[in-house]
Amino acid sequence: MKNNKIKIYKFDHIKDEFIGKKGTPEREEYEFELKTELLGETIKSIRISRNLTQEQLGKIIKVQKSQISKLESGAKNVTVETILKIFDALKMGILINVFPKTKKKKVA
């Protein structure tokens, strides 16, 4: 009788194998792309929940509708100032965490 067990992998294992291990340029690029997409999706979701169009949000923060559209689509060249203006206009707070990337511990 044939053994038909399904092998289960953790998502981190799949990312390591197909994208690259943490710290590699490929993995860093992937993580960056993911974060920009999530930021754009968050802005879009909140904007829609506030019943604002891209054009209306753009007027509030004094940028073109196209800039809002690009940002919601995951644009990478957005400034922190613009992000702060957007979330302020959406009446949302924002928290930026700064931490070291390396987690190496010295063993005595």
Average pLDDT estimate for 8-19 = 86
- What CA–CA distances, in Å, run from 3 to 8, 10, 93, 98? 15, 22, 53, 49
The pLDDT tens digits for 25-52 are 888 888 888 888 999 999 999 999 999 9
Higher pLDDT, 75 or 53: 53
> Can you give the pTM of this predicted structure?
0.71
The pLDDT tens digits for 56-76 are 999 999 999 999 999 999 887
Q: Is the pLDDT of residue 95 over 80?
A: yes
- CATH top class, domain 11-89: mainly alpha
Residue 50 in tokens: 């506030």
| Per-domain boundaries in the chain | 11-89
User: Do the Cβ atoms of 63 and 82 come closer than 8 Å?
Assistant: yes
Q: Alpha-carbon distance 35 to 40, whole Å?
A: 9
Residue 51 per-residue DSSP state: T
